[in-house]
């Protein structure tokens, strides 16, 4: 599908610049409302749920969306700051037409975005996004007063989601005796993540839990785990859990302060599910998933497939194959037997379940996945076309692949957001990975 406004994860950009402006967000809400109303049964009024992270611009976007939806005759349920996966869960639990999240995930505070979930708590189908895009450019015609949507706030949304998360952890287990540092990235999980682990019995130390509208993801969270690493050591904790701004990513830290990424944590979950005889098929990763992760799964006899980068594509491949586990090394982990979307809190609980039942530390459980060094070079280009077809690039790629053989991997892909070609080389030796990454990047640069 050719997209004018929607990217792979909704509409996103710098606040105050198109498309994240009050007038566009108003039209986006109205357009989405019209499309949802068209799919509603005769005489029924659709309702949507709107959640957001802690960015200062969330107020503006929330008000604009609310006005757009109600002008289209759609009722709105507001939940305030709430993790992206919480919005997906609540939309499904409340039997609503759609859920909307105002968030730019792990980006800085001056970015923001709008993404949608269907009534099933899944990403909107391409056909619905296309219909919304087509409606955006049409004139707005406000409903008459008698048909305008109504707005109300759901006051117990946080409690509902906390109970949902706890419900994904076995009732015969608890977290007593564990001291856990939880880094909420000053984001949407600040008021829900610490209670989940505390109510399951852990001693919880919360950091990154004082949002002010500007500090989301600032030197904290899953994309900046250094703060968590220091806190775990300082608190003499057993482990640490880091979420990102909208709480759908997960990084964990062991007692010594070592961080573990999405590949390593997904391995721990997959091995535990296999041990319990509940693994359906295999695991889906991405082009960026570490080769050591693939080898470790192979040693367990677990099939592995790679999707394009982006949790949208991981979910699509999982659904095509009927598999239940997948994720990205960035920390998006999908356990479709527990939730319809990636959820940092739920994923952390699945790791903790595996540790409790196996009586292993995080370090020992992750030991089979000794990550290969990955070297990434972004090469600025005027055109993001297929550089691999250039003779000079193709020659170097062939040489690299022959040299690396089964002990390494080369990936050349255009960025979806910047005018660059990303060159990634993975090898057991960092020196070898760096040498080939530089050689390929030089060839790509010469091919411009």
- Separation of CA 54 from chain center: 16
Can you give the pLDDT at residue 1?
52
- DSSP annotation string for 189-221: TTTTHHHHHHHTT-EEEEES----SS-TTSS-S
**Which CATH number is 393's domain given?**
3.30.310.50
* pLDDT above 60 (res 6): yes
What are the beta bridge partners of residue 332?
Answer: 249
Can you give the pLDDT at residue 2?
63
- Identify whether 288 is part of a domain: yes
138 and 24 housed in the same domain: yes
* pLDDT above 80 (res 3): no
230 and 353 housed in the same domain: no
Min mean pLDDT across 57-61, 75-79, 219-223, 387-391 is at 387-391
**For helices 157-166 and 344-358, what crossing angle results, to 10°?**
30
Can you give the pLDDT at residue 139?
94
Min mean pLDDT across 37-41, 105-109, 138-142, 225-229 is at 37-41
Taking the C-alpha atoms of residue 382 and residue 152, their distance in angstroms, rounded to an integer, is 49
- Identify whether 58 is part of a domain: yes
Can you give the pLDDT at residue 392?
87
Which of 112, 135, 155 is the endpoint of a domain? Answer: 155
pLDDT tens, position by position, 160-208: 999 999 999 999 999 999 999 999 999 999 999 999 999 999 999 999 9
Which of 237, 257, 277 is the endpoint of a domain? Answer: 257
What are the beta bridge partners of residue 333?
Answer: 327
64 and 128 housed in the same domain: yes
Q: Outline where 43-190 has alpha helix (H).
A: 58-71, 84-93, 126-136, 157-166
Any idea what the Cα angle at residue 242 is, between residues 253 and 114, rounded to 5°? 155
**For helices 344-358 and 262-275, what crossing angle results, to 10°?**
50
Which of 307, 335, 366 is the endpoint of a domain? Answer: 366
171 and 270 housed in the same domain: no
Can you give the pLDDT at residue 415?
75
131 and 24 housed in the same domain: yes
| 227-256 average pLDDT score | 98
Domain count of the fold of the chain: 4
- Reported as a pLDDT band with limits 50, 70 and 90, residue 8 is confident
**Which CATH number is 333's domain given?**
3.40.120.10
**Across all residues in the chain, what is the average pLDDT?**
94
* pLDDT above 70 (res 273): yes
pLDDT tens, position by position, 375-419: 999 998 877 566 666 888 999 999 999 999 888 999 998 876 678
Annotated catalytic sites, by residue?
105
139 and 51 housed in the same domain: yes
Can you give the pLDDT at residue 33?
96
- Identify whether 2 is part of a domain: no
Domain containing residue 414 = 374-446
31 and 134 housed in the same domain: yes
**pLDDT exceeding 90 applies to what percent of the chain?**
87
Residues 6 or more apart whose CB falls under 8 angstroms from that of 305 comprise 282, 283, 284, 285, 317, 321
* pLDDT above 70 (res 289): yes
- Reported as a pLDDT band with limits 50, 70 and 90, residue 447 is confident
* pLDDT above 60 (res 43): yes
Length of the chain measured in residues: 448
* Neighbour order of strands in the sheet with 250-254: 203-207, 179-183, 239-243, 250-254, 259-260
| 282-297 average pLDDT score | 96
| 247-260 average pLDDT score | 98
Can you give the pLDDT at residue 71?
98
| Residue from 121, 118, 191 nearest 156 by CA | 191
Can you give the pLDDT at residue 387?
64
**For helices 84-93 and 344-358, what crossing angle results, to 10°?**
100
pLDDT tens, position by position, 18-39: 999 999 999 999 999 999 988 7
Say if residue 144 is exposed, middle or buried (CB neighbours under 10 Å; 0-12, 13-18, 19+).
exposed
Taking the C-alpha atoms of residue 183 and residue 226, their distance in angstroms, rounded to an integer, is 11
144 and 177 housed in the same domain: no
Can you give the pLDDT at residue 217?
97
355 and 432 housed in the same domain: no
**pLDDT exceeding 70 applies to what percent of the chain?**
97
- Reported as a pLDDT band with limits 50, 70 and 90, residue 323 is very high
- pTM: predicted TM-score of the whole model, two decimal places: 0.93
Taking the C-alpha atoms of residue 323 and residue 337, their distance in angstroms, rounded to an integer, is 9
79 and 196 housed in the same domain: no
239 and 277 housed in the same domain: no
Q: 307: which 2 tokens? A: 């999707």
202 vs 446 pLDDT, higher one: 202
């Amino acid at each position: 599908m050719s997209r004018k406004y929607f990217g792979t994860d909704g509409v996103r950009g710098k606040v105050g610049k198109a498309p994240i402006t009050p007038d566009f967000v108003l039209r986006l809400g109205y357009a989405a409302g019209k499309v949802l109303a068209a799919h509603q049964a005769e005489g029924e009024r659709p309702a949507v749920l709107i959640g957001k992270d802690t960015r200062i611009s969330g107020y503006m976007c929330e008000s604009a969306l609310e006005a757009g939806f109600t002008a289209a005759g759609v009722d709105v349920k507001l939940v305030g700051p709430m993790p992206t996966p919480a919005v997906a869960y609540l939309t499904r639990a409340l039997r609503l037409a759609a859920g909307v999240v105002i968030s730019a995930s792990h980006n800085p505070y001056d970015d923001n975005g709008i993404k949608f979930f269907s009534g099933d708590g899944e990403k909107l189908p391409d056909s619905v996004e296309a219909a919304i895009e087509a409606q955006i450019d049409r004139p707005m015609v406000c409903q008459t007063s008698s048909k305008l949507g109504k707005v109300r706030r759901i006051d117990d949304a946080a409690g509902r989601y906390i109970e949902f998360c706890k419900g994904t952890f076995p009732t015969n287990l608890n977290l007593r005796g564990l001291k856990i540092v939880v880094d909420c990235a000053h984001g949407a999980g600040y008021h829900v993540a610490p209670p989940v682990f505390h109510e399951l019995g852990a001693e919880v130390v919360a950091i990154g839990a004082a949002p002010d509208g500007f500090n989301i993801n600032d030197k904290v969270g899953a994309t900046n785990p250094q703060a968590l690493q220091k806190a775990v050591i300082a608190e003499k904790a057993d482990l640490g859990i880091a979420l990102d701004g909208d709480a759908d990513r997960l990084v964990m830290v062991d007692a010594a302060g070592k961080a573990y990424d999405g590949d390593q944590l997904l391995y721990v979950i997959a091995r535990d599910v296999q041990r319990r005889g509940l693994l359906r098929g295999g695991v889906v990763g991405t082009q960026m998933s570490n080769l050591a992760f693939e080898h470790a799964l192979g040693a367990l006899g677990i099939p592995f497939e790679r999707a394009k980068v982006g949790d949208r594509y991981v979910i699509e491949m999982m659904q095509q194959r009927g598999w239940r586990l997948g994720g990205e090394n960035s920390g998006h982990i999908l356990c479709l037997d527990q939730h319809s979307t990636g959820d940092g809190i739920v994923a952390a609980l699945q790791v903790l379940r595996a540790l409790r039942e196996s009586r292993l530390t995080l370090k020992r459980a992750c030991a089979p996945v000794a990550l290969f060094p990955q070297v990434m070079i972004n090469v600025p280009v005027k055109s993001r076309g297929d550089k691999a077809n250039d003779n000079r690039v193709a020659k170097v790629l062939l040489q690299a692949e022959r040299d690396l053989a089964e002990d390494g991997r080369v990936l050349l892909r255009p960025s979806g957001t910047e005018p660059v070609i990303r060159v990634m080389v993975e090898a057991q030796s960092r020196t070898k990975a760096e040498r080939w990454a530089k050689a390929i990047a030089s060839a790509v640069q010469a091919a411009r």
